[in-house]
């Protein structure tokens, strides 16, 4: 009772104590590090299915599409995205906020089980995963447009990746489903034999031109090798015009063909023994969002960054990018961790 009497007899002191506690609470709330919250179960389920040796296109048509179609029958889905890579299908199913993750997982299992028998022989049993805020990127984005995958990849590499990566708190931005340009040089074995050349002679000729960068693959009937090419070459014709060194040609001309042999030695070019194509590298992954081909981006934050602030800054940067990118190119948010964190904080207040 004596303890209570102190507060009763000193009302001003009592008010000051209460006010100090209130201010301390407010300051603590405003400085709350949202990344220290307990993991929040989020409505995201991943279905992984493997088939060793299958190409991305086989994985997509024979496994991924079937999983997507089956999962789409589950109620409460927000969106579905997928990645089909060499030997593996990964389908991510995002639900509306507020559902029971275990119930959703069981429903997805039930639906996918109806198509498992349609998978190719030797396909492994699908693996199901639920996720929490600690093991996911800050945001998952998609890039789509009325243009080729190679063009979308170029926009990502030259513009989008740099702009998003420069946002304060962003550690890394990665993409799946990319189509990278690759100059491909297909050697004609008969023409090589005619000039007594080997594939390495052509490769060496390309390697020896100016400052070099990785340029692609030189393909013959028996093997392929990485080619280093001049960094100012931009078109297949540039590669075709590279002269093959005289030392690479070991013809033994006789008196009858001496003139033609000497001319051959001085003028022989890559295009004379190979077909040069401006193509794309073999695609090791295919990404789709709501049934359409797309690039899927993962935005990762630095360990000490505020998750909510990073997400806000990324969204602001996306708006700026839309003003710079072609009208048909869209960047959509597939998943945003900050939504779940903010909801968790609100439930505590």
Per-residue pLDDT of the chain (349 residues), as tens digits, is: 566 666 566 677 677 777 877 787 777 666 555 454 444 555 789 999 999 888 888 999 999 999 999 999 998 888 898 989 888 999 999 887 666 777 888 999 999 999 999 999 999 999 998 765 555 788 999 999 888 888 888 899 889 998 999 899 898 898 888 777 777 788 888 888 888 888 778 877 776 554 444 444 445 454 444 444 444 445 677 778 888 864 444 444 454 454 444 444 457 888 888 888 777 666 666 777 776 778 999 998 887 788 899 999 999 999 999 999 999 999 999 888 888 777 766 665 5
Q: What is the third-level CATH fold of 41-178+285-348?
A: Alpha-Beta Plaits (3.30.70)
For residue 311, which phi and psi values (nearest 5 degrees)? -60, -40
* CB of 296 closer than 8 Å to CB of 83: yes
- The distance of Cα 159 from the centroid of its chain, to the nearest Å, equals 15
- For residues 27 and 169, what is the distance between their CA atoms, to the nearest angstrom? 23
User: What's the CATH class of domain 183-276?
Assistant: alpha beta
Token pair for 66? 């079937």
E-strand spans in the chain? Answer: 41-50, 77-85, 88-95, 127-132, 139-144, 170-176, 181-187, 212-219, 224-230, 274-280, 285-289, 292-293, 295-301, 330-336
């Amino acid at each position: 009772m004596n303890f209570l009497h102190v507060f009763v007899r000193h009302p001003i002191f009592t008010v000051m104590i209460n006010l100090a506690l209130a201010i301390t609470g407010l300051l603590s709330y405003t400085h709350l590090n949202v990344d220290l919250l307990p993991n929040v179960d989020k409505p995201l389920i991943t279905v992984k299915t493997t088939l060793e040796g299958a190409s991305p296109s086989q994985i997509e048509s024979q496994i991924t599409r079937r999983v997507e179609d089956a999962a789409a029958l589950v109620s409460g889905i927000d969106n579905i995205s997928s990645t089909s890579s060499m030997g593996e299908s990964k389908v991510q199913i995002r639900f509306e906020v507020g559902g029971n993750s275990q119930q959703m997982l069981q429903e997805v299992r039930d639906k996918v089980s109806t198509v498992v028998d349609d998978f190719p022989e030797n396909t492994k049993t699908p693996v199901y995963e639920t996720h929490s805020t600690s093991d996911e990127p800050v945001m998952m984005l998609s890039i789509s447009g009325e243009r080729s995958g190679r063009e979308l990849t170029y926009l990502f590499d030259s513009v989008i990746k740099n702009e998003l990566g420069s946002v304060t708190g962003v550690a890394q931005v990665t993409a799946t489903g990319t189509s990278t340009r690759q100059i491909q040089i297909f050697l004609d074995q008969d023409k090589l034999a005619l000039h007594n050349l080997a594939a390495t002679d052509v490769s060496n000729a390309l390697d020896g031109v100016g400052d070099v960068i990785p340029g692609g693959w030189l393909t013959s009937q028996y093997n392929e090798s990485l080619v280093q090419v001049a960094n100012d070459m931009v078109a297949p014709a540039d590669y075709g015009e590279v002269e093959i060194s005289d030392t690479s040609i070991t013809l033994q001309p006789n008196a009858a063909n001496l003139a033609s042999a000497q001319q051959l030695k001085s003028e022989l070019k890559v295009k004379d023994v190979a077909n040069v194509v401006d193509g794309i590298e073999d695609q090791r992954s295919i990404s789709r969002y709501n049934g359409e081909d797309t690039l899927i981006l993962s935005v990762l934050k630095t360990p000490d960054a505020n998750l909510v602030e990073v997400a806000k800054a990324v969204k602001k940067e996306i708006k700026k990018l839309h003003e710079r990118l072609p009208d048909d190119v869209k960047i959509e948010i597939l998943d945003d961790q900050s939504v779940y964190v903010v909801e968790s904080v609100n439930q505590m207040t």
